[in-house]
Chain A
């Protein structure tokens, strides 16, 4: 049958077009590694400069944050978290942009918009909740909330990208629940979730899809 190779090419085109149009495939594994490194650096900085070198957080520390006169410390911690977020996010954006450019894919597509929507709805909800916690002085709930809402946002967005982030999302959520149950372990669990897991996930993704 002389058309056979044509038919095989047809199937290939169908698969490629279906996949590219229904999944955001420009997520970069390297971005995960860098996000993990910046999270670990941030956690180490917090432990050294704000916790006197301790990795565990005492109950007194949470209570002292809530007591009056500690506004500048709260601000410093928020600034540190903001810097970690900004570094990770801008690297992720840049690397994804570069990856899509290399693969000849457009980055602003119907599916990337859907991916972002499903990612950002739980993420913004968590962000607002954390602001409410800060205002109410419930500082022990902030690290767990970060992990839980980040985890849920990954689970929510997984339908529109690599299915691998589903498992990352579940693990982050579980770590968040553990951090809520054991507040003194908050920073270690946070560094595990945002640091180590991101690095492992990034390396797995890099090996699986980018080499």
Chain B
């Protein structure tokens, strides 16, 4: 049986980026600190993965202030959502294929 793995995306080979996208698919938006505790990663690590996803337009950054505190939250773009869903479909097909 021929398996179609063209849906796999290199962006999601990394588990942290995979985790970030999984959260942003089921939540309209999620803030930096909550992402950090949900995924159990360090500031710097999370920031660099977020930057990579943002630079490729897979996620959108929303900066605002709550009182005097800056609050940065993230949402998935349409492109990001499509790419992630295709990736997930390809993963499921690969696993089902045997």
Q: Give the B-binding residues of A (Cβ under 8 A).
A: 1, 4, 7-8, 10-11, 13-14, 17-18, 20-22, 106, 109-111
A21 to B38, Cβ gap below 8 A? Answer: yes
Q: Which of chain B's residues have a CB closer than 8 A to the CB of A1? A: 94, 98
Q: Which residue of A lies closest to B31 (CB)?
A: A110
Q: From DSSP, what is the main secondary structure of chain B's interface residues?
A: helix
Alpha-carbon distance A10/B92, docked complex (angstroms): 10
CB A155 to nearest CB in B, in angstroms, measures: 21
Is B27 close to A, CB under 8 A? Answer: yes
Q: Could you say which of B34, B94, B98 contacts A109, with CB atoms under 8 Å apart?
A: B34
Q: How far is the CB of A166 from chain B (nearest CB, A)?
A: 19
- What residues of chain B lie closer than 8 Å to A13, measured between beta carbons? 15, 18-19, 22
* Most B CB within 10 A of own CB, among A21, A22, A106, A109: A21
Q: Which A residue sits closest to B92, measured CB to CB?
A: A11
B18's partner among A4, A10, A21, A22 (CB-CB below 8 A) is A10
Chain A residues with CB under 8 Å of B19's CB are 13-14, 17
Chain B residue nearest to A8 (CB atoms) is B95
Question: B38: which of A4, A14, A109 is its contact (CB, 8 Å)?
Answer: A109
Known: A7-B91, A14-B18. A106 touches B37 (CB 8 A): yes
Taking CB atoms, residues of chain B closer than 8 Å to A10 are 12, 15, 18, 91
**A7: B residues at CB distance < 8 A:** 91, 94-95
Q: Which 4 A-B pairs have the closest CB atoms?
A: A22-B26, A17-B22, A21-B23, A14-B22
Cβ contacts B51-66/A at 8 Å (1 or 0 each): 0000000000000000
Tell me, rounded to whole Å, the shortest Cβ–Cβ distance linking B64 to chain A: 15
CB of B82 to closest CB in A, whole Å: 16
Would you call B92 and A4 a contact (CB within 8 A)? no
Kindly list chain A residues whose C-beta atoms are within 8 Å of the C-beta of B22. Answer: 13-14, 17-18, 21
Contact A22–B27 (Cβ < 8 Å): yes
Q: Does B25 contact A (CB under 8 A)?
A: yes
CA distance in complex: A17, B25 (Å): 10
Q: In the complex, how many angstroms separate the beta carbon of B69 from the nearest chain A beta carbon?
A: 16
Interface contact B18-A109, CB-CB below 8 Å:
no
Q: Which residues of A contact B92 (CB under 8 A)?
A: 11
**A106 neighbours in B (Cβ, 8 Å):** 37-38
Minimal Cβ-Cβ distance residue in A for B24: A21
Contact call A21/B94, Cβ cutoff below 8 A: no
Contacts of A8 in B (CB 8 A): 95
